[in-house]
Amino acid sequence: MVLGFVIAFAHRLYFVVELISGLAITFIVSYSVWFVSQNLMWTAVAFILFLLGTIASASVASMLAVVDGFLVSWLGIAAITVPSQGLSSEWIFTSAIMAAVLVGVAVGLGSLDFERLSIPLFASLRRRGRQGWSIQPGRQRAGLVCSTCGFMNRPGTRFCTRDGTSLIPMGIPKSNVCPNCGTTNRPKASYCRRCRTSL
């Protein structure tokens, strides 16, 4: 029963694995056709056919994961309950409905975007002042990271593109932050120490 839940939960993973392997095979076959025939039309036909086959195969793999999850859950429910309930047509139907609900929940949970759901949770924990959850404001590689939502903003941005939070650290005069790249400079600096823009 738990195995069926896990199989149905991972239906997106089945889709992705099948899609990636199918795309690799599509490119290998297309290259092979080109190498053997040196004919662009035959290569394009092979590419399109294998690409359509890959998409269909990935979709079928995802659906089969859901069906497999249902069957495994149904068998698990039956194995647990048949000794006490007996084998009747009513109980077979009831256990099938229970398995369908279980798999429906698993597919629903497997389809959620947990990364998007977690951002408001982490933002609310940061607002409450709990330690260890906040992303430090400031520069990281290509841009400025918002201290509220964790969104990576472009260099030179003064406010978060996602939630509007100020990206200039508290206690630093705004004139010391470069308008071009967002670098914090010394209090009396005339030029940015990173990009040489006039302050």
Output the six-digit token pair for 37: 């025939």
Q: Give the three-class secondary structure for 159.
A: strand
Q: What is the reported pLDDT for 126?
A: 45
User: Which of 20, 19, 17, 11 lies closest to 111, judged by CA?
Assistant: 11
Q: What pLDDT is stored for residue 158 in this prediction?
A: 77
Taking a C-beta distance cutoff of 8 angstroms, is the pair 192, 199 a contact?
yes
Instruction: List the chain domain ranges.
Output: 2-112, 118-167
> What is the pLDDT, as a whole number, of residue 198?
84
Predicted TM-score of the model (pTM): 0.45
Please give the chain's pLDDT, 199 residues, in tens.
677 777 777 777 888 888 888 888 888 888 888 888 888 888 888 889 988 888 888 888 888 888 888 888 888 887 787 777 777 777 778 888 888 888 888 887 777 655 555 445 444 444 444 333 334 444 444 567 777 777 888 777 778 888 888 876 655 555 678 888 878 888 778 888 888 888 7
Structure token pair of residue 27: 């490119």
pLDDT at position 27 = 87
